[in-house]
Structure 1
Amino acid sequence: MSVEDVIREIDRLNLETVLQHAALASLTCTGRTLGSDKNPFRIPVDENDLVLPDESPTKAENLFPVTIDLEPSLSCFPDADAINASIVKRELAEQCKKSVRMQLNQLQERQQSFRSKLDKQQKEQENLETVNHKALRKEQEILICQKADQLANAHLDAQQREQQALRRQTDQKLHKLALEGVARCQRRFGKKFEGITKLLLSLDKDTVQVCSSHNRQLKDLAQQFEQLVSNVKAGKCEQTQYLRSIIKAEQCCKSLDALEMDMIKQLAEFSELIQQQLKVEEAKKHEEEQRKKLEEKKRLQKEKEESEARQTQQQQQQAEEAAKAAAAAQAAAANTGATEVQPTAAKPAVVPPTADLSTSYVHPDRLKFYNEILALYQAKVDAVKPLQTEESLKQYRTGCQRAINLPLNAISAVSPQHLSNNFDKLYSFFAGQPVKLLNGASMTINDHPLARDYCLLLMAKKFVSQTETAISSNPQAAFPFASVIVTFWKLLPDFGKIFLAYLYKESPFLVPYVIPQQQGQSPEQYLKTIGYRLTDNELEKPDMYLKRQTGIARLYSAVIITPGRKADGPEHCYGLEEGWRWLAHMVHVKPLPDVSATLIMEVLQTLGFEMLRTYGKQFVKLLCYIQNTYMPQLSAHDEGGPKTRLEMILAKFLRERQIPQAVGLLPPGFW
């Protein structure tokens, strides 16, 4: 409320004074201001505020409206005392108003000072609020910055985690890629290293000394490659080093190939040197024989001359006796004839060379045997087709496969008991013993009339499949498998023929049969006929094909010399004569690059000891025939590593006149 409002309210309270003043003022008015025809002038007054002392609200209400006559009378004019009193009252009222105004001014000043204080306080408060607001805003900005930093750090941590996860995934992918690449190189390196090791083991001490530098390089290269493989397997490489590891592995393989070529070249030179030395020794021996023959001839000529001289002397001394001289002359002629016949009788007889066995592909007898084996195999396959194709017998077939695969895969020469237990599991199944299936039920081989032939085919195929897994990389593993095969062959003769059929299907060279390429036949089709495999429309690589052929030859040779279980009959049902027959026929068929040399070398390394002990000089003659006659024929078609290794092995066998026994051969009565 302002000061003017306060004054106005105070004026409303002094109604009586106001009326008096109005009466005095009406004396000077020239016209009428009040009346019935005039609208009264009313001041809005709050009843609560207009309560006067000593007067009731009813009396106050009668003051309004005031009616003034149109014509004033003399009685209505106040007297002088009244006027003086009114003046005094007016002065007092003025003084009262002045004091009130002064108080009001003071109040206004106080109010202004209060307002200024209030404004100052408000300003101070506003300043304080501004400062607090700034501080709060600053704190909020700090909090916002902190939250922003936290969000940025969290986002950065998330990005770092994503980058780390991406890097780990990249590392894993690169590690996997490096493992695959190094594994391929490792298989290649291992195969090549195994071949070089075999070559070095097959050499004698003098020949090994020639390759001493290569042997050291081979050891260093093997250590480097092994360290490289261990680092890659452990994952100790950086991202950039994974690809380098593959390149290093490839370089190691190339270095090993170069080392092998250099070693083969050096061994070939050494072999040529040995051949030259042998030729020189043979020439010296021949010259010595010719010299001895010449000396013998000279001696005989000298004896003849001496005899003729003695005869002439006798003729001169006994000229007078003609009869005696004639007799002496006849005796001299007889002696002369005898001396002329003697060197002719000492000349050795010439043995004519043997005629060609048959065509250059297969001997008729072996072809006949091959056809008989395949006919039996095909008859068995055709017979079991109903069992193979019947969908309701799928679980039964699975049980048969399980009963054969589990013990067959566990065959090894760990101990006689281990080998006997696995054989008993197989044979008990063929004997009709029940076998549990996966669902808990049991089945026997007698549950179906075709099950026996089906299981014979399945077991023979499983034995042959071991050649490309266990036997090709571990030659010693062939002998326990061969012992079980021979034992089954004795107990189930059809099994042996089926086993041979699977061998011939994988390698017709074991007949030996070099299947000729037919007219119009593509190279891929011809390679399939001689045992190459086609996987995903891609033909098998030559090195993998040779590896399989090596395993097949090892198992075939191991079956020939490995005895079966002693309690089941004779030791061999497919004996050493089969090895002799194969080797004699193999050197008379058309040689093939790499394959012929590989098979002959594997058979000689496995059967050579037994064949030399059994056939003696005849086997040595066969080796000489291979070296002198067959190897030149093979050299016209083959210049690879297997041919060179075969030459070195033959030279070593003929030079030392002994062949080491195959490693891993089971002793007689092993189980």
Structure 2
Amino acid sequence: MDDMMRSMDCLKMAATFHNAALASTMCTGRTLGEDREPIWVEGSSKTPEPPLPEESPAPEPKNETPLLPEIDFEPNISCFPDLQDINASIVRRELAEEGKRCVRQQLKAIKDKQDALRMSRETQQRKEERQSDQLQQKALRERNESLLIQKADQMTAAQLEAQQREQSAQRQQIDQKLHKLALEGVSRCQRRFNQKYEGIAKILLSLDQETVKVCAAQNAQLKELGQKFEQLVSSVKMGNCEIQSQFLCSIIKAEECCKSLDALEMDIIKQLAEFSEQIQQQLKMEAAKKLEEERQKQQQQQEEQRQKLEEQQKLEEQEKLRKEKEESEAKEKQQEAETAKAEAANVHVPLEPKSQDVPPAPTASSTCVHPDRLKFYNDILALYQSKVDAIKPLQTEESLKQYRTGCQRAINLPLNAISAVSPQHLAQNFDKLYSFFAGQPTKVMNGGTITINDHPLARDYCMLLMAKKFVSQTETAICSNPQAAFPFASVIITFWKLLPDFGKVFLAYMYKESPFLVPYVIPQQQGQTPEQYLKTIGYRLTDKNELEKPDIYLKRQTGIARLYAAVIISQGRKAAGPDECFELNEGWLWLAHMVHVKPLPDISATMIMEILQTLGFELWRTYGKQFVKLLLYIQNIYMPQLAAYDEGGPKTRLEMLLAKFLRERQIAQAVGVLPPGFW
């Protein structure tokens, strides 16, 4: 377009030069300029205007150059073109200008269209470029995202694999722990199951063939239960549990087997009791038949005697007339004989009492204590007194006060902490006590150390001190919490095995607090006041120098009885050895002797009830029918004797407890008993 415009300007200049060349031929001088007057066309009516005042000539444009040489002559009028030509030239020039304007406008419109097209093309191009850039960026982003996804998948797979390995390792550890727990739980159940199984087997072996036939179904069930439990134990030992919950299920199954065995034992006992009742009923029926037969025989004999009497009456009637005098004499003699017989009978009837109506009169000592138990009691007290007398130099010497305090601290701290929280806790406190008795140094408050070997009398002194401390626990921990008796009893039994004299000293303290554990009902001496007598059977004085109240006394005696019974049935530490030092027969002997000594109000019923609640389960399992007979003896014979002295609450509670045991034909195991091998 610029080239076209320049071309148009060139065309314009060429036309101008052409016209000027034509006009120059007709002119002889200069005709233009401000200093020249206009040349008018000939015939014009107009007069020329006066010349303007001279003014300074206008400056010529700097870029204007003359096209023709300046002619210094005056032109003629004839040298000017015609007006029409001038108008025509003007018109042509205007037309040319108008054409140029049109051309310019068209060219401008074309240029605008081209600019618009170029702008639209550039916009479209930029848009396409942006779209292509966006597509490239999108493709790049997708490629980066795919790479990130691949890396994330790889990292996730690696993490997942690591987690799976970690989970598998944790699962293996959990399986091992669960397997160990299952083994421990099943082993405990196995010991209990084996003991119960052996007890039932002994019961069945002790029966005759006819009685065993009655329990044939239970015997088969016992064998099946034993096989089932053996399979369970073998599967747990082999670890054949695919799911973790099966380990816990094995413990539950073992517990269920033990419960089933307990139920089977009760079923056998019930079956045997029913069988024995049937036998007794049969015996009663046979005895009734024999009585009936004897009654019939007596009736027959009476009938025969009546017939004989009738025959004799007939004979007497026949001979009545002939022997009236003799009959009268005979009647008189007969009456005299009957009178004599009646008198003799009245004299001898009181001299033939039934042996079951009048019990044999016991000796004075047997009503208070059995001679064997009295001898054992005296031996225990003699040993205790000898040790007390021996340690008096250590106990009274003032310079050894700090040493005695250290010994007391070395015993009291671990002893007060004894509990069944865990086997480790119980073993730790026992080790502290036993290490002190073994001669190991123990720290005291001032930072020093002491040993039991620092004084020759220290061992007996500490033994007495520890026994007394154990007995004192009956007043604090055991009275309020019966289950606390069993961890103390387990430690006592362990020390008893390791230090035999300790067990005797412990019994001496128990008998001093409660002579009824012998059992020994100390009789009231002649001239002894009631207060003095109550002191001899265990009553204490309060701070006001008064006797303690009966309910406090009975509560303390209950705690002593619980600890005594717990010592009888508790087992010591496994490492201490299997020797038994205070077995279950001590509980049987105590109960058998207690029902043969003189009963006292409240205390007798309280002691029997506490012993039965703690030892009843083990006594019934061990002695079976004999223990049931002992319970029946207590209910039928001892309780009426006790009623003559006691009508209080303990006696009533004992009656209800006996009735419950005999009605349910079982006694629940005491709560809190430590399982065998607990520590």
TM-score by length of 1: 0.49
TM-score by length of 2: 0.48
